Amino acid sequence: MLRLFRKLRKKMILEKKVRHYLLYALGEIILIVIGILIALGINNWNIREQERDQEQFYLLGLRQEFVLSKIKLEKLIEVNQQNYENSKKIAAFIDAETRPTEKELSVLIFQSLTNEISYNPNNSLLNELINTGGLKVISNPDLRKSLTSWESFIQSIKYQERGLQEQRERLLNVLREEGSIRTGLDETGVTSEMGLKKSSRVGSNLALLESMKFENELLLFILTGSLTETAHYQPLLEEINEILVLLNQEIED
């Protein structure tokens, strides 16, 4: 094809058909420009396709992470509820006319203070995207904004959990000072699980119900646990649900 064009051009020059040659040259330039534009268009299309495939890969990975993070948070909410609800039952005995048995009180104390609260979401992919600037691949601005602000939610949760852990530790300190941990372990059967025999010394935790210090720390523990759920965990759960909605909107099934 190129040889044919060269022959025609040479023939035109020899015949001094300058006008025809200029038209031919212009047409040749136009063809070259069109070819370049087509090549650029194909290249840009390929780049866009690669970016879209990469975005879909990240979106699927992020959805999996946030689904797991949601499951973890829902389980943690249940544990936290059990902690402060059992603590409420202990508080109810303080002003009640009847007292619980040693075993009933020991079980409630055990169920209130055994489980430590700490939320650890699955964020390995999200952290990688943030650290490497990969979030720019996410085309939805609302989703990108939510993912960027996720870390601030987690830091707020961690701060609140530290406060809850400190309050739990203060309540445990009262139990250590004014109660009997051994009696609690004996009555809940933990002693035998540890391979130990029940203590021959008879101790009681019922006196804790008469302690003002125990009541104060117990009430603060209940309040902190309740606020952790309503002011932190529930808003975080709503944020996760919103992120999942945005992710599902962008994912091509």
How many angstroms separate the CA atoms of 183 and 191, rounded? Answer: 9
- Among 223, 61, 205, 29, smallest CA distance to 137 is for 61
- Among 236, 230, 224, smallest CA distance to 163 is for 224
CB-based contact 108:206 (threshold 8 Å):
no
CB-based contact 89:60 (threshold 8 Å):
no
Over the stretch 198-243, which tens digit does the pLDDT of each residue have? Answer: 766 767 889 999 999 999 999 999 999 999 999 999 999 999 999 9
- Can you give the pLDDT at residue 21? 56
* Segments of the chain scoring below 50 in pLDDT: 45
- Can you give the pLDDT at residue 96? 85
- Can you give the pLDDT at residue 14? 54
C-alpha distances in Å from residue 21, one per residue of 8, 16, 96, 160: 9, 8, 110, 81
CA triple 173-178-182, angle to 5 deg: 85
CB-based contact 121:69 (threshold 8 Å):
yes
Q: Tell me the pTM.
A: 0.79
Q: Which amino acid is at 84?
A: Y
